[in-house]
Homo-oligomer: A and B are copies of this chain.
Amino acid sequence: MNKTIILKSRPKGIPTLDNFDFKEEEKPDPNEGEVLLKTKYVSVDPYLRGRMRDEESYIEPFEIDKPIQSGIVAEVVESKNDSFKKGDYVSGMLEWKEFQTSNGKQLQKVDETKAPLSAYQGVLGLTGLTAYLGLLNIGEPKEGETVLVSGASGAVGSIVGQIAKIKGCKAVGIAGSDEKLTTMKEKFGFDEGINYKTTSDMKQAIKEACPNGVDVYFDNVGGEILDATLANINRHGRVINCGAISLYNKKEQPTGPRLETTIVKKSIKMQGFIVRDFGEKFEEAIAQLGKWLEEDKLTYSETIVEGFDNIPKAFIDLFEGKNEGKMIVKVS
């Protein structure tokens, strides 16, 4: 039999285990042109929370009673498709199932001799692409500028900080514990760190950590930290709106100070994106990230949780910041 995880109900506020359900189904047989995939690693990411909401977005919402999808690295265990052979490893947007079939069209082969399989969901996957393409294309950091990053010890944020350093910028990170700040500085090379949980005045803390002001803000969290940053942003500052995890679980429409006067007064750019917006640059980006990895200019953290059954809990734990770096579930 084949275990799957479906969306049982749409979360209100922070997702709970009740929102998910496990189902058993027959293990599928691949048709001609298909492969049978065995799930190895499942990526859980904050943006999945958005797809659990029934509203228009860049991608259709998950349906009730249907399997959740996310980035998955799988092994080809049977192939009726000439492009793949048994034993190949692939990554793609796949369903939370132990086994599934695919026509292969949306799969990328990954090479486990070049990097550990889990890295293809992190620094060499959508996570790395998000950090690299968002920072460089929207943020356009210049040598000597100050780059502030929220969610800085997370999967994307920790890579953003390292790329900022490679580009000759000062990197300042915001995270939620002193241990995370230590890792940020010692492992990822951030120059300064701010613990937002123990800081009562974020505006002042950012001012102290960024005495020349903020030129680029890579925002994973939104909300009050964005406001505090805008109070310290330089003329022509750029905000990369990558995520707004602080708002995802709010039940009411959140409010805050209006941003447009600051945007006008300081010629600020704020821009959201999904990594697919820069699809034509994926190849170049992955090549560059791979090169930096090889040269030891880039490193990464993973929090690896074991077991298919723990996928929902690992996802929920993201919202309490229990991960350091990329949160991944090892299934087999």
Contacts and interface: CB of A to CB of B under 8 A. Distances in A.
B226 A244 contact: no
Given A253-B257, A254-B257, A270 B263 contact: yes
Interface residues of A, number: 38
Specify the main secondary structure of chain A where it touches its partner: mixed
Contacts of A222: 258, 260-261, 264
Interface in A224-271: 226, 235-236, 241-244, 247-248, 253-271
A131 to B, nearest CB: 15
A273 B266 CA distance: 7
A129 to B, nearest CB: 15
B254 A258 contact: yes
User: By CB atoms of chain B within 10 A, which of A226, A242, A258, A262 has the most?
Assistant: A258
A248 B271 CA distance: 24
B273 A260 contact: no
A272 B268 contact: yes
Given A58-B235, A241-B264, A267-B272, A258 B50 contact: no
A88 B167 CA distance: 51
A57 interface: yes
A274 interface: yes
A145 to B, nearest CB: 17
Contacts of A247: 258, 260-261
Interface string A44-56: 0000001000000
Given A257-B254, A263-B270, A277 B244 contact: no
A324 interface: no
Contacts of A236: 277
A241 B263 contact: yes
A272 B277 contact: no
A95 interface: no
Nearest to A253: B257
Nearest to A235: B58
Interface string A162-196: 00000000000000000000000000000000000
9 contacts: A57-B265, A58-B265, A222-B260, A236-B277, A256-B256, A260-B270, A260-B272, A268-B272, A269-B271
Closest 6 CB pairs of A and B: A263-B272, A222-B260, A264-B272, A269-B271, A241-B263, A254-B258
Interface of A: 50, 57-58, 219, 222-223, 226, 235-236, 241-244, 247-248, 253-274, 277
